[in-house]
Homo-oligomer: A and B are copies of this chain.
């Protein structure tokens, strides 16, 4: 095993040094812990996500994608709170037996670090701590952001009558996984890119502060994540299947029904799911225009704690029978 300190230093510290001074980092990597200076009047927003090989990403995924994706899924949680990302810590567990020699290890690490750092830079996030250990390939990323006190987007503010909307398009994560399993390897393919290089919607979360009554990121799938809003806000949902914005090439790749199922329950989309008052939709959409991001109304919140779908009858049954939801039949309340 290469010495831990060498690894950290070579691939993760040097490129960060330039940015540390300007981002509240009093003492960066290299001591027992890092010293940070939060801004006065701000709340800290923290979350951790682990990405495990063969569970969250395929073993053959490019190291660049592995680095990007591990950070992206963690940043997505900050986006869902409306937070600004500032710092992250990265715990890499690396199975050196998977590499033929030290050179191969170095090449993998360099590519991994490029993917991780590029996304750090895109979101002004400084890597302030790390750990490299030996074992099955896995990456734990802790993200730390900031928010003015009282402005967080939580899961608990949705009310019956609020509209339900999503940023961007759905089903791309599951669609990309399906393509990967069929042998597609071109990261430029829009679905594969959605699966392996998801874009955390930090700018959208920030833009929706003060408008969204509840928010989360779609990681488990629309229906599963709607259930989290239900549990926290005590509202049900009515979804219009025909309104679901499908990822590019999803329908042509999988067919209409599989595409809709991917959008409903596929997960790994990392779009924001928000609820908001009907009067605020136009303003919210306007705020996302400069980001090149759509905000599509896909349904509304209701009092009955179930989910129902209007649209094709077979898929409506799929929705109302979805695990995690109590069966909820009848007309939309």
Contact = CB atoms under 8 A, between A and B. Distances in A.
A27 B56 CA distance: 27
Interface in A122-144: 128-131, 133-136, 138, 140, 142-144
B89 A48 contact: yes
A50 B45 CA distance: 22
A31 B135 contact: no
Interface string A78-98: 101101000101110100000
A50 B133 contact: yes
A201 B55 CA distance: 37
Interface stretch (A101-109, A147-155, A259-267): A147-155
Interface stretch (A33-41, A111-119, A175-183, A313-321): A33-41
A81 B35 CA distance: 9
A48 B81 contact: no
Contacts of A286: none
Contacts of A90: 48
Given A32-B47, A37-B44, A129-B48, A135 B134 contact: no
A55 B135 CA distance: 8
Interface string A42-68: 011111111011111000000000000
